[in-house]
Structure 1
């Protein structure tokens, strides 16, 4: 019997997708072999790749002047790829919003290749809020502005898209496909697959055509978006199984009603959990209201000495991976698209019973 998985990533996948992959693992489409055992250049896998791209285009209404890339290395590789690909157009200054752990990682990498201007930071209150645009200090001629719409560890999420004149770059690893996105407002969007798309090891990138010729000299071939775009993401052997599973997830999201349905469900799940926490004297949220993530909900217990017992008993109750990140502590429930409302309802029952016993 499957349990409810609140892992921050690699995260839960839709059960229907896992069951289909299980059925096809040894005999994919009647071919007598696995999808992992066929050439990525075969007509059969080319169809998977093309269908995956079209389904993602449909889900996010991606304009035709954007390329969709399926890349190696997850989002972390894109921390380097972004400056490599965008700082060669002249001005080597990049603007970054510092909103937490993953924004910090991106900033460290960008400083290897050019000057970074931190437009705004929420460090002053422990990265517990989204910095508002009134406090920004933007560069006059930035090559791009990078931000992290959802911080998985801190549990903060932007409720707006920054308005900038330079290309806007977003690391949407933990909230992509959870609500509609106006892609035309962005120069580039990237996302590690292992939260709302598929298994780890794959990153999806959406790049506007005019940004494919701005790379720094000497850019590694494996990080060059133009090389990937020209080769249909197959300059070398791609992570085919991750691509295949992602294609199944895109179909599943379509079947659920698309990103509009995911947005409605995300709001319902996070509202249930955050509302319960706010009504409790035993649990509390470290994130300021108005900045709370719909995807990742951190919370603490009134007595941290009970943390281990909470994790022990929640696991026994079939509620998995609720431990907070090691840098933050406490608990964290990640509510990605594949986590059903029933999982949150079960978590609330457990939290209420735990509070009654130990408060």
Structure 2
């Protein structure tokens, strides 16, 4: 192959990590100047900042008014664990898994909660399980967007409006970038550190009236850790959804989330965020279409993520080598880009097939992705040359 010249221009921001994700354009530490530091989060002012985060979240995401939005500990993982531990056990459960995090929820439901009646609908990285086999007389657990496979559900049409069970949706790399059909959602969770580029350790838990009715009518068979307790005396602990968190939040992180939400509003809210993610993903998709050595890990175009774009190398010379050598090739390619300051953290997730993963969420600038793709071609060509 012809060796391309080293590109003349690097991305202005080479941060393409899939989590924590890059900060919003123009972010500086000055954005945190008004953080309520050294004050109690239970003070009037502290609760007001937390409530403001919930209010601004509602304004942008626009779930139905009777949905509750709360801030909980432990990032998206903590939020989803709270939902699993608090809600499951009343019905049989279907768990859909096609990537690392979905498989993690399988482990929780089967090995830790030990729910009696569980069906697992699995698929390999790159494809979805057969969605038509999900039984909505049961509770259904799934990720809306598979962060480690780049495969998302195409929409909510496969979920019946008259379902008997609950839908529990891990939406952390989907929300703010992909439309969520709220009529098909009973539990939605996410973290601040994905599409909005916020800081970690805090999760968001959104509950429908059906989920709240389950909370108030069902007592789990297992003991609930304090961090997962969403009820008090058999009723929803409404304070959690008004800004009174279960444990101590970082008010610095809260301020950062408020800044991200304000930026989101300034670019057109949810529509603006989704448009940016779509435009960013299109840059990568167009490059894939003209590049013979790379392929989207997501097989079906309708299920391809517009945030966590996962890639696999399909060059025949590389694929002919043992898996360990393929992995070493990709690792060297990623290290080469990092050493040049052209791209950070774009290797595939440790549990995923060997390849690349490029975050294209709303906080990434399209121009930086346009500058990235020539560097990918250059790094691949250098790696092939080294093998010769």
Which TM-score band (shorter chain)? 0.7 to 0.9
Indicate the residue corresponding to 2:105 in structure 1.
106
Give yes or no for the alignment of 1:163 onto 2:159. yes
Indicate the residue corresponding to 1:63 in structure 2.
64
Corresponding pairs, count: 342
Scaled by the length of structure 2, what TM-score is found? Answer: 0.81
Cα displacement string for residues 136-188 of structure 1 (whole angstroms, at most 9, x for unaligned residues): 15264x2x211101111111111111414022111011111113323232111
Indicate the residue corresponding to 2:184 in structure 1.
185
Indicate the residue corresponding to 2:40 in structure 1.
39
Give yes or no for the alignment of 1:205 onto 2:205. yes
Indicate the residue corresponding to 1:311 in structure 2.
334
Contact 2:280 2:364 survives alignment (8 Å): no
Matches within 5 A, 1:1-359: 3-22=13-32, 24=33, 28=34, 34-87=35-88, 90-91=90-91, 93-111=92-110, 112-113=112-113, 114-118=115-119, 120-122=121-123, 126-134=124-132, 136-138=133-135, 140=137, 142=138, 144-161=139-156, 162-164=158-160, 165=163, 166-197=165-196, 198-209=198-209, 210-213=213-216, 214-216=218-220, 218-227=223-232, 229-231=238-240, 232=242, 233-290=244-301, 291-301=303-313, 302=315, 303=318, 304=326, 306-315=329-338, 316-327=340-351, 328-354=353-379
Deviation at 1:353, TM superposition (A): 3.7
Deviation at 1:356, TM superposition (A): 5.8
Contact 1:215 1:224 survives alignment (8 Å): no
Gaps of 5+ in 1: 29-33
Cα displacement string for residues 10-37 of structure 1 (whole angstroms, at most 9, x for unaligned residues): 1112143444335x1xxx3xxxxx5232
Gaps of 5+ in 2: 1-10, 319-325
Over aligned residues, Cα RMSD in angstroms? Answer: 2.4
Deviation at 1:307, TM superposition (A): 2.4
Contact 1:79 1:105 survives alignment (8 Å): no
Q: Which moved more, 1:48-57 or 1:315-324?
A: 315-324
Q: Secondary structure at the match of 1:16?
A: coil
Q: Distance in 2 between matches of 1:139 and 1:253?
A: 34
Contact 2:188 2:206 survives alignment (8 Å): yes
Q: Distance in 2 between matches of 1:239 and 1:329?
A: 36
